[in-house]
Amino acid sequence: MIIKRNAADMAAALANGETTSVALTQAHLDRIAEVDKDVHAFLYVDTEGALAQAALADQKRAAGKKLSPLAGIPLALKDVMVQKGIPTTCGSKMLEGWRPPYDSTVVSKLRAADVVILGKTNMDEFAMGSSTENSAYGPTHNPWDLSRIPGGSGGGSSASLAAFEAPLAIGTDTGGSIRQPAAVTGTVGVKPTYGGVSRYGLVAFSSSLDQAGPCGRTVLDTALLHETIAGHDPKDSTSINATVPAIVIAAKNGNVKGLKIGVIKELQGEGYQAGVLNRFNESLELLAGLGAEIIEVSCSYFEYALAAYYLIAPSECSSNLARFDAMRYGIRVGDKSGVSAEEVMNLTREVGFGREVKRRIILGTYALSSGYYDAYYGSAQKVRTLIKQDFDNAFTKTDVLVSPTAPTTAFKIGEKADDPIAMYLNDIATIPVNMAGICGMSLPSGLADEDNLPAGFQIMAPAMKDDRLYNVGAALESALLSKWGAPILSHVSGLGARA
């Protein structure tokens, strides 16, 4: 079954004429038609557009044109990323029916590389959440167990990979929205260095934390996608104007001999599921066995990261989401004779935003308001400095840092819906990376003993050293695969006989 292969293998099959992009794309569309009513990874499937893109890729290949490594490979796009003419909702009722008149830079780069965009994936509304339960269009289900969450906010993207609906996906990561879903679905996800991938056309949640990134089923697939979307963009003032590190080469090397790997003391122990910690420690032993030096480091300010994050992200979101006001695009509620623009804005924003979004907008409005700015937003920015310093110190002694990606495996849908603080704790290990603007990867470390659900191993590297993630990730992945004998996703059980 071709859909179960890795993207790199699919690319080889396209290159040697074993299959065509149209056939490959159709196989994925069929798979989506078969399983997505259960998984609900997709909000929109662009059947016609995808097949047209696939046909174009096949044509170019037939004409002997030089093609990118991922030409003709299908991909799932998180619905927070703007694609011209294709409905983009960000999982919100607010943007129901909106078809943007422009392409995001990531989409432009995917088009230029002849990657086939299958459709838009489900997510927590405006990327706010850790379970994809906050989508206005209903939750996504974890292919490992349909009664469980696929992580969030990019649960749709990761679930589509685990369900073999797409071999590659684009996610965005503001506090862990690529890595945590990767962890709980047994897939790979990378939050690139802030500024490494353009944010132009990524509907902003928290501008200073948001970063688009690649999701795949293997480290190499993820690297191939990362290299396709990375690079300087003059349309994004915060885009780094420097050469992209040699990511794919690193993913092919995977050599940790002599590397110093720091284990962050504060990101384990209390609150972490035993089975998750067991897999984490086994992975460390494997890395040590491959010649890496394992060091324990302390990042004492990380315990304040979650608090600072839940001030900075809501503050920025309260401003970023102000534009959704029913005047120029999106839904409009209550527009009838005698009702003012102000009232229509109030009504539309009441109806158009879900609970979590409103909660964060109000929290952010409070944190920025006069008299509270210094105590909340200002203090959070100072904590950000301290977290950066913690990382800087740790990286003087190490090449990469590691931790479990998420404290637990996938929980049941609805289990934490009424407890925002419990929900926020899912991102405790991923948030520091966003606060410091550095890069991080999650890859599967195995199945937790308690529940046989995937656990994630997080690797963190300094800004613009994204290649280190892939080097370490590839080494660990290969060691784990030898141990397991088969890829972790061969155990996906939630889809029953269909898988």
Partner 1 sequence: MSLKYEDVIAKYEPVLGLEVHVELGTASKMFCGCNTIFGAEPNTQTCPVCLGLPGALPVVNEKAIEYTIMIGLALNCSIAPFSRFARKNYFYPDMPKNFQTSQYDEPICVNGFLDVEIDSNEGIKKFRVEVERVHMEEDTGKSLHVGGATGRIHGADYSLLDYNRAGIPLVEIVTKIVPGTGKYAPEVARAYVAELRDILRSLNVSDVKMEQGSLRCDANVSLRLIGSDVLGTRSETKNVNSLRSVERAVRGEMIRHAELLNKGERVVQETRHFQEDTGLTRSGRSKEQAEDYRYFPEPDLVPIVPDATWIETMRAALPEKPSIHRKRLQEAWAVPDKEMASMINADVLEIVEATVILGADPTKARGWWLGEIARIANEKEVAATDLPITPKDVAEIVALVATGDLTDKLARQVIEAVIAGEGRPSEVIEKRGIKVVSDDGALMAAIKKAISTQPDVAEKVRGGNVPAAGALIGAVMKETKGQADAAKVRELLLKHLGQ
Partner 2 sequence: MAGISRDDVANLARLARIDMTPAELDHLASELGVILNAVARVQEVAGQNVPPTSHPLPLQNVYRKDEVVPSLTPEAALSAAPASEAQRFKVPKILGEEA
**What are the tokens at 446?**
């195995």
Burial zone of 17 (CB within 10 Å; 0-12 exposed, 13-18 middle, 19+ buried):
exposed
> Which residue of 359, 452, 487, 491 would you call a contact of partner 2, by CB under 8 A?
359
CA-to-CA distance for 494 and 410, rounded, in angstroms?
Answer: 12
Report if residue 342 touches partner 2, rule: CB under 8 A. yes
Contact 166, 185 (CB under 8 A): no
In angstroms and rounded to an integer, the radius of gyration of the C-alpha atoms of the chain is 21
Which positions from 124 through 153 interact with partner 1, judged by CB under 8 A?
none
Binding-residue pattern over the window 63 to 102 for partner 2, x denoting contact by CB under 8 A:
-----------------------------------xxxxx
Contact 176, 434 (CB under 8 A): yes
**What are the tokens at 210?**
């948001």
> Which residue of 126, 353, 395, 457 would you call a contact of partner 2, by CB under 8 A?
353
Residue found under tokens 């889809």: 495
Is 482 considered catalytic here? Answer: no
Contact 424, 310 (CB under 8 A): yes
CB 237, min distance to partner 2, A: 4
CB 357, min distance to partner 1, A: 14
Annotated catalytic residue, options 92, 104, 108, 177:
177
Binding-residue pattern over the window 122 to 151 for partner 2, x denoting contact by CB under 8 A:
------------------------------
Is 120 considered catalytic here? Answer: no
Residues 6+ apart with CB under 8 A from 398: 260, 261, 262, 295, 297
CB nearer to partner 2: pick between 15 and 322:
322
Residues 6+ apart with CB under 8 A from 98: 87, 88, 89, 329, 330
SS3 159: helix
Terminal-residue alpha carbon distance, the chain: 11
Report how many helices (DSSP H) and strands (DSSP E) the chain contains, helices first: 16, 11
Residues 6+ apart with CB under 8 A from 389: 301
CB nearer to partner 1: pick between 205 and 302:
205
Which positions from 353 through 392 interact with partner 1, judged by CB under 8 A?
365, 368-370, 373, 377
Which positions from 461 through 490 interact with partner 2, judged by CB under 8 A?
463
Report if residue 436 touches partner 2, rule: CB under 8 A. yes
Under DSSP, the state recorded for 92 is -
CB nearer to partner 1: pick between 107 and 182:
107
Give the interface segment with partner 1, choosing from 3-11, 287-295, 323-331, 450-458 (CB under 8 A): 323-331
> Which residue of 26, 27, 38, 329 would you call a contact of partner 1, by CB under 8 A?
329
Report if residue 237 touches partner 1, rule: CB under 8 A. yes
CA-to-CA distance for 58 and 97, rounded, in angstroms?
Answer: 31
Under DSSP, the state recorded for 33 is H
**What are the tokens at 189?**
């996800």
CB 98, min distance to partner 1, A: 8
CA distances to 190, 195, 305, 356, 405 from 127, rounded to whole Å, are 16, 18, 19, 10, 18
145 has which bridge partners?
A: 142
Report if residue 371 touches partner 2, rule: CB under 8 A. no
Is 153 considered catalytic here? Answer: yes
> Which residue of 143, 167, 189, 195 would you call a contact of partner 2, by CB under 8 A?
195
CB 22, min distance to partner 2, A: 30
CA-to-CA distance for 226 and 192, rounded, in angstroms?
Answer: 8
CB nearer to partner 2: pick between 311 and 400:
311
Q: Which residues are catalytic?
A: 78, 153, 177
Contacts with partner 2, residue ranges (CB under 8 A): 98-102, 194-195, 208-209, 234, 237-238, 240, 301, 304, 307-308, 310-311, 318, 322, 325-332, 335, 339-347, 349-350, 353, 358-359, 361-363, 365-366, 369, 375-376, 378-386, 388, 420-421, 434-437, 463
Contacts with partner 1, residue ranges (CB under 8 A): 81-82, 88, 90, 95, 98, 100-102, 104, 199-204, 206-208, 234-238, 315-316, 318-319, 322-325, 327-329, 337, 341-342, 345, 365, 368-370, 373, 377
